[in-house]
Amino acid sequence: MTDTTAAGLTDPFGRAVTYLRVSVTDRCDLRCVYCMAEDMTFLPKREILTLEEIDRLCGAFIALGTDKIRLTGGEPLVRKGMINLVRSLGARIGDGGLRELTITTNGTQLPKMATELFDAGVRRINVSLDTLDPAVFAAITRWGKIDQTLDGIFAAKAAGLAVKVNAVALKGVNEDEFDRMIAWCGEHGLDLCLIETMPMGDISGDRTDQYLPLSLVRSRLRQHWTLEESDYRTGGPARYVTVKETGRRLGFITPMTHNFCESCNRVRLTCTGTLFMCLGQDDAAEFRELLRDPAVDDAGLAQAIRDAITRKPKGHDFVIDRRHKRPAVARHMSMTGG
């Protein structure tokens, strides 16, 4: 029987759901090729949850046992007033509340926001950086300037934030850079996480041409680095090793070569109030109208969350090969924040 008591949320397969990823905006100041179309049509403001609505829904999840929230986008830090949401959620860190509040960002806004984020309670962030080559960075992001992201990383470090670099592994694009990135992260005291590209969204390019299995990458890296097994976990899907030569962690997120669904503890809320119980499935629960209905109190909101968790599927069905040219799900990665 599914446990839906206030003490916690457990899905039909016995997995405790304790991790909420929240996309606060569909907008971004970059256009990464694996995340967005070049000419994106963004949502009208009325369809986007207000920061107050997001805060209320996050509070309901926390009351039901959620102890980790990650704020994502699009690019979360471009949303006006974002720091107010961070402060409100940061105030819930502690006994009976959140264990951790984290953010995934492209880093461009960190030079002006890193200190405020630290002061609000954030201690760890992920920064998306797929390459150290300025030309390749511009190609992947379509118009980005790598110095903005690098300045953001160093500003975050200076503010006291632990930084993990996220890099999507793209065949023929950045696959010859991972040795350099490991060395660079070691030099600057950063962890690195490599991510397999996922079949999401109608974007340009043949996904079979981009796909690079991390099992192959790991084998190549062992030729130059000593990768020591680690039991370190952050609560997400990454599996980590320690790079002996640098002392830093190296993570692998492998939705394609190794389905990590058996330990999935998370659900994802979009900026429109849609809750996806699985990144790779289309089934979802809608919360925007509930949040805007004065007749729905906190108890009703909590029950809607419990009902949604009873629909969490066993796993995703991602596949990339020459026979499956369409994405597994049609929505862009920017909608659900990864």
Is domain 19-336 in CATH 3.10.129.10, yes or no? Answer: no
Q: Amino acid letter at 46?
A: R
Of the given ranges (22-26, 196-200, 240-244, 289-293), which has the lowest mean pLDDT? 196-200
Q: Which residues are annotated as a binding site for [4Fe-4S] cluster?
A: 28, 32, 35, 261, 264, 278
The per-residue pLDDT for 40 is 72
Give the CA count within 13 Å in the CB-facing half-sphere of 56. Answer: 18
pLDDT in tens, 173-189: 999 999 999 999 999 99
Q: Average pLDDT, stretch 14-28?
A: 94
pLDDT in tens, 94-104: 999 999 999 99
pLDDT at 3 over 90: no
The per-residue pLDDT for 258 is 55
pLDDT in tens, 201-243: 444 555 567 789 999 999 999 999 999 999 998 877 889 999 9
pLDDT in tens, 146-163: 999 999 999 999 999 999
| DSSP structure class, residue 263 | G
Determine how β-strand 274-276 pairs with β-strand 284-286.
antiparallel
Q: Which residues are annotated as a binding site for S-adenosyl-L-methionine?
A: 34, 74, 128, 198
Backbone φ and ψ for 129, nearest 5 degrees, come out as -150, 105
pLDDT at 11 over 60: yes
Q: Which residues are annotated as a binding site?
A: 21, 28, 32, 34-35, 70, 74, 104, 128, 164, 198, 261, 264, 266-268, 278
**Whole-angstrom Cα distance, residue 235 to residue 19?**
7
The per-residue pLDDT for 225 is 98
**Whole-angstrom Cα distance, residue 303 to residue 4?**
8
**Whole-angstrom Cα distance, residue 286 to residue 72?**
19
Q: Write b or e for each residue in 249-268: b if 16 or more Cβ atoms lie within 10 A of its Cβ, otherwise e.
A: bbbbbbbbeebbbeebbbbb
Q: Amino acid letter at 44?
A: P
pLDDT at 47 over 70: yes
Domain ranges in the chain are: 19-336
pLDDT in tens, 297-324: 999 999 999 999 999 887 755 444 444 5
pLDDT at 280 over 70: no
Query: Is-contact 285 277, C-beta < 8 A?
Result: yes
The per-residue pLDDT for 214 is 93
Tokens of 36: 């967005």
**Whole-angstrom Cα distance, residue 210 to residue 34?**
9
Q: Which helix (H) or strand (E) element contains residue 13?
A: none
Q: Average pLDDT, stretch 49-77?
A: 97
Mean of pLDDT over the chain: 87
The per-residue pLDDT for 236 is 76
Q: Which residues are annotated as a binding site for GTP?
A: 21, 70, 104, 164, 266-268
Q: Amino acid letter at 192?
A: L
The per-residue pLDDT for 166 is 97
